[in-house]
Structure 1
């Protein structure tokens, strides 16, 4: 570090991005940075993606879903002010107004640099009856405990929203012997991440396991008895229930800074390639921010833990001078739906068309290993690429074999602006236990080449 004066850094919120920033900054600068952390909760670094694993009994102890703690970060030298809420920010005078939620005391805290890692919160739709007992959110440690406890006495459970969280919870509850209904306004499950070639197979899988999959219906009301939810009303039907999980998406926790720094319309903070906000002394990372989405060259709101930890770490390196660029994201993600392992990166074909990007795609089914091997599994592959230059902008992979790491390969291909031709002839190893002489990514790209005039 070149700055010899001790610098005061305030951190608002401490989940994935905040934890990554603190641990890296303390390693890099030690006592030269004075880090004060203000967190409304009494926990940090909870992996909300593990809630379904806890509900399904795969992870017995929810405490194992934390990968850090206030104590660990304090031992690194951070001043961890837990159960403290920042109620105002003055960027010109460089101070926070903070409320101690235990005592009610309010005080000012000055800073030289501000790191906003305030995260996100589940969207709570404005639907009549949403305040009824038994309607739950799925985000933090306390939600996880509440869901598990309340579901013990629930026979029928309804999940509103068929994204990753909703689909994973539906399977977990079904495995626990519950009657499960999952409802989504879109005409398919997982429509944000996958095209119909994949979702029709996954919907069939869920239905065969006894889950009531309801798509193309909008929830219009919740009805209850004695203050407890008993029915979910849609524009097309009524569903009896004992419990509802709202899983319709997330919104950034950034109301505190509205009008003070640049944001997307939904409140996601816009950052530059070194993760400064429109105020050079304010950084932001994680679910509170918009990310640069390489496949479309636009800012998008894609709340993922992977984005958060990368961004939080990069801010620590750029605290005093711009050293490391944030390369943007492809939004790479994965999910397991019963026996299927699924991963996706970049744009779906539908999303590309919605954005007005002219694309073609190749969908193919290849076996993961040579057919002379005693066991092999079909791999469903879709690659989306631009019509003008063949540049890859998206990919989806699914199989009962775990080949999900191939989505990371496609993610790198997108980030490095590779074309379908580049991928067709990329060098991948061959060994019959693992793959074929032509890897299935090669094969899919080769099939796409047949439609291109090169």
Structure 2
């Protein structure tokens, strides 16, 4: 059996390794348009900020490793056309210019995503850079040292992490976002208000509710003015990170997709076309909070989905458990975790929810030190099923986001979480764990509402 894998970052690398591990001797051919595999783009800000000195540490595999496992690895080869009916792919060698056709028995689409590039006037300025892959990271590193004024467009994880890295490097940083809050996909205002205030204390200028209208480069070409609906901001370097779109043009009209082009897969990573599998940022995930589909491009989703492709390439064996979109962030001393929906996003997923927010110490006050934990629990009205959670502290409580993720995946209720058996030891915890207390507050809220 011959398997062709198109694209080889997180999902592709995971798929190739698992296919070959589960099926020794299977013929696996990889086509990747870049000259590297498995780059952790979540580490770009660490690289930019100098925390990571050697960028090679941001790779966890390489073409040589995949080849040693038995894969036929073709780097800098661009797949230009896919015919799922004929089971053929057209390929161009980007080094030699050679073009050829290949055939497959099974096809794995792990083509990933690409930064959204709005059709804004002046966006072609050499001072406007994207932030997604290794080559883009190298471009930012190569030019950042002699730049003082930097504008970051987009207040998601990558944008915020870059803002922190540049500000801590002594740059004059302006963050521009078209929405009213940073990190709005992950956190509610109780959390983002704190983080925005903290960024301002670190010298960051935050311009929210402002849409970018254009970029204007000066005559010397060394500065670009970002023109928004709220003002103009001069910069020597502009980083554009306003989100990602799935790279699925090759199979448009051939497999079922969401409106944004994300490929829909079943619980075994199969698309609507027989023998065609997909995984990673090119796909919609099965979203557990509402039991539907959502586009959530995260490396954690990608590696799990890639593994499942490998497990199921010869027939359905291991079922996808879905995802809660669990994520973590470290920002200027704050340890932040979130999972599932928040108050702001719940309605978009068709959920009627209520929530509780509370702050408490993570361990007893009689200990020499402790830290406050700000936390929030979101649950479904009627069922009291947990569908989201957020947590933040100067103490590292981020693993609690994983606990809440498991609660969502297993359809636990607020009562279940209120009585979960968590250990007590004064160095680490209180007799009632803070997650127990959070869920108990939700129970109290429901009891009060029932009286009305």
Give the TM interval when normalised to the shorter protein. over 0.9
- Runs of at least 4 residues off by over 4 Å: none
Name 1:169's counterpart in structure 2: 162
Equivalent of 2:187 in 191, 194, 207: 194
TM-score by length of 1: 0.97
Distance between the aligned counterparts of 1:340 and 1:176, measured in 2?
Answer: 18
Deviations 1:96-154 (A, max 9, x none): 11111111111111100000000011111111110001100111111111101111221
Equivalent of 1:115 in 108, 132, 138: 108
Residues 329-408 of structure 1 mapped to structure 2, 5 A cutoff: 329-408=323-402
Distance between the aligned counterparts of 1:418 and 1:280, measured in 2?
Answer: 35
Name 2:59's counterpart in structure 1: 66
Deviations 1:4-60 (A, max 9, x none): xxx1000000000010011111111111x1000000001000000000000111001
* Shift in Å, 1:449: 0.5
Matched, 1:151 2:144: yes
Name 2:312's counterpart in structure 1: 318
Report the more deviating stretch, 249-258 or 348-357: 348-357
The answer to whether the Cα contact below 8 Å between 2:270 and 2:278 also exists between their aligned partners in 1 is: yes
The answer to whether the Cα contact below 8 Å between 1:39 and 1:85 also exists between their aligned partners in 2 is: yes
Matched, 1:284 2:278: yes
* Shift in Å, 1:353: 2.7
The answer to whether the Cα contact below 8 Å between 1:135 and 1:229 also exists between their aligned partners in 2 is: no
Name 2:175's counterpart in structure 1: 182
Name 1:77's counterpart in structure 2: 70
Name 2:263's counterpart in structure 1: 269
- Report how many aligned residue pairs link the two structures: 447
SS at match of 1:170: helix
Equivalent of 1:102 in 85, 95, 101: 95
Distance between the aligned counterparts of 1:151 and 1:85, measured in 2?
Answer: 30
Equivalent of 2:293 in 284, 299, 306: 299
Name 1:207's counterpart in structure 2: 200
* Shift in Å, 1:229: 4.3
Name 1:133's counterpart in structure 2: 126
Distance between the aligned counterparts of 1:416 and 1:315, measured in 2?
Answer: 23
Distance between the aligned counterparts of 2:254 and 2:70, measured in 1?
Answer: 30
Distance between the aligned counterparts of 1:393 and 1:228, measured in 2?
Answer: 48
* Shift in Å, 1:228: 4.6
TM-score by length of 2: 0.98
Distance between the aligned counterparts of 1:77 and 1:313, measured in 2?
Answer: 17
Distance between the aligned counterparts of 2:216 and 2:143, measured in 1?
Answer: 18
Distance between the aligned counterparts of 2:113 and 2:85, measured in 1?
Answer: 25
* Shift in Å, 1:217: 0.8
The answer to whether the Cα contact below 8 Å between 1:132 and 1:228 also exists between their aligned partners in 2 is: no
Distance between the aligned counterparts of 1:244 and 1:156, measured in 2?
Answer: 9
Unaligned runs of 5+ in 2: none
Report the more deviating stretch, 149-158 or 40-49: 149-158
Deviations 1:80-102 (A, max 9, x none): 01110111111111111111111
Name 2:440's counterpart in structure 1: 446
Distance between the aligned counterparts of 2:210 and 2:216, measured in 1?
Answer: 17
